[in-house]
Amino acid sequence: MPEGPQMVFVKEQTEQFIGQVVLEVKGKTRNIPFDLVKGQELTQIKTFGKEILFCFQENVVRVHLMFFGKYAINGEVNRPLELGLSFEDGDLNFYACDCRYLQEPLERMYDWSTDVLSESFDQEKALQKLMRQPTQLICDALLDQNILAGVGNGIKNEVLFRARLHPESQVDHIPEAILRSIIQECVTQSFRYLDSKREGTVKEHWLVYQQKECPRDHLPLRKEKIGKGQRSGYFCEKCQVLFHPVTG
């Protein structure tokens, strides 16, 4: 699944179309009124978490790449086209994604203080939201887009490894200081991931995600689907601590 840094990277690649008029809209999506987008000038591009928002004079087109979404700039992908936008100087095509047509002001729909890549991200608010879900496993909590918008499975695995925290630790068993450090690490790893996308070094970015061996202990990593969401977890049983309830 694309994560927040990937969507910021898409934004940077597509900003070339800002100021241009949509000449044609096509694709199989039923959620976009093509006639209301055609002829509109693209005025701004924003991201929120795992979504990219194309802002026009009178409306917004939201694209979420879901699990297997793809995009092409001035090119095509060999799969059914979900949404295609033709501009004066090129084409922007999306595949296997969810597209929506928004008319409400974005400020009413989105809270950028929950987006880890936003200047408005509020770490204290994220901490309070985490602590209001005490029985949740930390591997699930980090993927909650209402708490940490933009954090996906790759970032989750990397953050927990760097924090030496076992993904099956329950939120209320984890000391507050560690929760704070995890939130900060989500921000740090998101920006590092974005840098690796820009540099084309994503594979070198991952220490444990989709890897086989712990780089600290040189032991085989465990890989299994864990948590309520059953997302793939990559972790080291030796150096990642599983917190238990405090007794006595």
The rounded mean pLDDT for the chain is 95
Confidence of residue 67 (pLDDT cuts 50, 70, 90): confident
Residue 47 lies in a domain: yes
Using the 3D structure, point to which of 84, 109, 134 is the last residue of a domain.
Answer: 109
Residue 248 lies in a domain: no
178 plus 103 within the same structural domain: no
Using the 3D structure, point to which of 51, 85, 109 is the last residue of a domain.
Answer: 109
Global pTM value: 0.93
148 plus 101 within the same structural domain: no
Range among 38-42, 67-71, 244-248 with highest mean pLDDT value: 38-42
The boundaries of the domain holding residue 66 are: 4-109
Residue 117, φ and ψ in degrees, nearest 5: -100, 0
| Res 248 pLDDT > 90 | no
Contacts of 192 by beta carbon, 8 Å cutoff, 6+ apart = 205
Contact in structure between 137 and 110 (CB atoms under 8 Å)? no
Residue 246 lies in a domain: no
Chain-centroid distance, C-alpha 209 = 15
Confidence of residue 229 (pLDDT cuts 50, 70, 90): confident
The H-assigned helical ranges of 50-173 are: 106-109, 123-131, 138-141, 153-162
| Res 85 pLDDT > 70 | yes
| Res 246 pLDDT > 70 | no
Which among 2, 183, 221 is positioned nearest to 97, based on CA atoms? 2
123 plus 224 within the same structural domain: yes
